[in-house]
Amino acid sequence: MLRLVRERALRLAHPHVLTPYASCMAYEDVLLAMDLVRGGSLETLLGDYGRLPPEYAAEVLDQLLAALSHIHAAGVVHRDVKPANLLLEPSPVGAPHVRLADFGIALEDEGMRFTTTGFTVGTPGYLAPEVLDWNRPGPRQDLYAAGMVAWRMLTGAGDPEPRQQVGAPPPGVPPTLWRVIAHLCAPDPAHRPNDADAARRSLSACHRELRFPVRTLDGEPLQIFDHLGPPPR
C-alpha cells in the first residue's frame, strides 16, 4: 500500500517516464490513474523479434537514458530497470517511443525506504554487482541495468545472469556501440559513466539515424502494434 501511494508522489513529468497523475483510496486499496500505453513492453517486442537492429536498440537506449537522467536529477533511483518495465507506444512505421514505468520500489536520496533492511530488491540479472553485495542503491545501479537491457536487445538472449559478462560484440554490432554497453555494464561502478547524460553523449558519437521502414536482422519490418485495440463501448 505504501509503495502504491508513494508512486503517486513520485510523479515526474517527462516524455519517457510513466507515472500516475491521480490516485484515490477505495476501502483497503489504492486506485492509480496513468496514461494508457498501448504498444506492449520491450519484453514483448524482444519476444516477437529477437535481436534488434543496432540503430533501433541505440534509439531505445537513448530514450531510456533520457528518462533516467530526469529521475536521477530529481533524486530518485528506479532500482528495477528491465525490458518488462519499458512500455512502448504503438509505432507501425516510425521510431519507437519508450516510457519507463513501475516506480514501486524507487528510492529517493533522502526518502524513506519501503523495503526490509537486509533484503535486495530488484530483478537479479539487472542488479549491479555492488547491490548484490548489499551496498546502498545509487544512480549507477540504474545505468548498469540500462546496459543490460541494451545487451539483451543486441544479443537476443534471455534475461542476463547475475554478474553477467558482456563478452564480445555480436555480429553486425558496431564496436563503438558495444563499448558504450560494456562501459555501462562495468562491474565496478567507478568505471561506469558518471551519469546518464554522460552515457548519452558517448552513445551519440556512435548512434546512426534510423532508416524507415526499420527492418529486423532477418529483413522483417519492425513494427510496434496497438496491443489493446479500441476501448469497449
Q: Just list the catalytic residues.
A: 80
- Extract the C-alpha cell encoding 201: 553523449
Collect all residues with Cβ–Cβ distance below 8 Å to 164 and sequence separation of at least 6: 125, 148, 151, 185
Sequence letter at residue 108 = E
CA atoms within 13 A on the CB side of 172: 14
User: Alpha carbon of 149 to those of 66, 141, 153, 176, 182: distances in Å?
Assistant: 15, 13, 6, 17, 12
Helix orientation angle between 196-204 and 54-73, rounded to the nearest 10 degrees: 150
Q: Which residues of 137-150 are buried (b: 16+ CB within 10 A; e: fewer)?
A: bbbbbbbbbbbbbb
Given 3-state DSSP classes, what are the helix, strand and coil percentages for the chain, each rounded to the nearest 5?
35, 10, 50
**What type of residue is 195?**
D
Say which residue the cell 547475475 belongs to: 162
Q: How far apart are CA 21 and CA 11, in angstroms?
A: 7
